[in-house]
Amino acid sequence: MLDTESGVSRGILVVEDDEQLQTALTKVLSQQGYEVTVARDGYEGLEHVERDAPWLVLTDLSLPGKGGMEFLREVRTQGYHMPVVVMTAYGGVDVAVEALKYGATDFLQKPFPFDRLEKLIQQLDDDRSEPGHVTTGPQEETQYGKDQEGFLTRDPKVLQTLKMLDMVASSSATILIQGESGTGKEVLARHIHRKSTRAHQPFVAINCAALPEGLLESELFGYEKGAFTGALSRRAGKFELAHQGTLLLDEIGEMSLGLQAKLLRVLQEREVDRLGSRQPIPVDVRVIVTTNRNLAQEVQAGRFREDVYYRLSVMPFTLPPLRDRPEDIQLLAEQFSHRSFQRNHRSWHGISDEAMMYLKSRPWRGNVRELENVIERGVLLADNGPLQVEHFQFDEPTLTSAPTHAPTGTIWEMERDLILRTLEAHNSNRTHAARTLGISIRTLRNKLREYRELNGGLSLGV
């Protein structure tokens, strides 16, 4: 199944027991230049995988004999890493998540338009043609989102979360995103909107913490002329403005209990009542909510309604703080600095290894937002060379030359602690720790030798 000119496989395996859909898929994919093989159940599917080595598999989940989920699990268990797209007429959020856990690449809800399938396959085909793309073994994610609006990450846990979100983005399920302030919750919400079937419809956001209860209610649900003093004309609320699109309720944990009850009715009935109106207005809105609070704890404390919590947490996700994502610190620091140098019409010369280690050692209580501000200030202080540690030190002492005895400098200690914590997290695997830290194995060995010498030759446990 190889293209004789490029040497790249053009084979697609379709595992589907519906003969009409078999024929339709074979026709559509063949017209796109792909070589299509059909299997009627999971047993035949595995035989074709072993014999033909297709580059892509499309499988139904409801199959006679060996079902689609079992087929998917065995494909991954046997070590095959080609993309597998699952199709089902009975799928929901739970099915999509289960398929992802078993190693599915994407999820299509039947009936689906063929142009959507064609776009998905073209995207997968483009991905494998990128330099360094591997299809015969496990693939290492390096970056999620290539445009400036995308959600950038190299963190394995966040990448897994993003894959799950991509699979449920096309559904109408309400999504709850929890995480500390500044971790990128709104950026992630916009990413979900762009990945959904509502991408060309409005994305409307409102900060529930920024408005008093009365004003927030009128902003959400709208009002009729004369509904209250100052209501001089009819005004549509955010739910109406987001019709057929996505509504982001930012910092939902700040909403009052009374307003939560009214929100619950909208989520259940899919209609809103403008203030001063007797006629409900139907709305078709995908709701995404974010919060920097733990809503489960808020429910236990009586500050958040339990029924609203369960309605909102159909698909709950948590963004880890930046300090727990050292690889993202490097990725984001490089991205922010590059943009900042461009805005200031100056050439970008990168960030020195010492400066990057310093950035990774900071606690980043303000998360991504704080990092972006620090980078911006550092760029303004920098000259024509790479960004150095001193460009990021605003309230701390300047880094001194290498000490001859155990130093007490804040930066040195933070660097040492970061290295030792990273090693511990990787079970003392120096190769993995060095990759996470963004330094070479040789540099890591030299640092550890320095720490042992300054510790009187005693073992540091690594």
pLDDT digits (tens, 9 = 90+) for 110-153: 888 888 888 888 877 776 654 333 332 223 333 333 333 568 88
How far are the Cα atoms of 352, 363, 401 from residue 387, in angstroms, in the given order? 6, 20, 18
Q: What is the pLDDT, as a whole number, of residue 166?
A: 79
Task: Output the pLDDT for position 404.
Answer: 40
Q: Which helix (H) or strand (E) holds 33?
A: none
For residue 354, give the amino acid letter: E
Label residue 298 by pLDDT band (50, 70, 90). very high
- C-alpha of 29 from chain center: 30
Whether 333 has a pLDDT exceeding 60, the answer reads: yes
Residue, of 457 and 351, whose pLDDT is higher: 351
Domains defined along the chain, listed by start: 11-128 (3.40.50.2300), 156-318 (3.40.50.300), 322-391 (1.10.8.60), 410-454 (1.10.10.60)
CA distance 48 to 15: 10
pTM for the predicted model, two decimal places? 0.58
Nearest to 84 by CA among 63, 68, 62, 64: 68
Query: pLDDT grade, residue 462 (50/70/90)?
Result: low
Cα(292)–Cα(319) distance, integer angstroms: 10
pLDDT digits (tens, 9 = 90+) for 177-189: 999 999 999 999 9
- Average pLDDT value for residue range 320-335: 90
The predicted model gives 97-119 an average pLDDT of: 79
Burial class (CB in 10 A: 0-12, 13-18, 19+), 340: buried
Per DSSP, the residues of 344-400 read TT-----B-HHHHHHHHHS--TTHHHHHHHHHHHHHHH--SS-B-GGGT-SSSPPP-
pLDDT number for residue 148: 38
Block residue for tokens 């009128």:
218
What the block records as the tokens of 203 is: 């994305």
Residue 410 and residue 163: Cα distance in Å, rounded? Answer: 39
Residues 231-247: tens digit of each pLDDT:
777 788 899 999 999 99
CB within 8 A of 3, min separation 6: which ones? Answer: 9, 10
Indicate the average pLDDT of the chain.
80
> At 455, is the pLDDT very low, low, confident or very high (cuts 50, 70, 90)?
low
Confidence (pLDDT) at 14 = 94
- pLDDT over threshold 60, residue 164: yes
Higher pLDDT, 92 or 324: 324
Query: What is the 3-state secondary structure of 398-461?
Result: CCCCCCCCCCCCHHHHHHHHHHHHHHHHCCCCHHHHHHHHCCCHHHHHHHHHHHHHHCCCCCCC
**Other beta carbons within 10 Å of 272:** 24
Angle at 428 between CA 422 and CA 430, to 5 degrees: 80
Percent pLDDT > 90 in the chain is 27
C-alpha span between 24 and 36 (Å, rounded): 11
Spatial separation of the C-alpha atoms in residues 133 and 449, rounded to whole Å = 36
Residues 249-275 have pLDDT tens digits of: 999 999 999 999 999 999 999 999 888
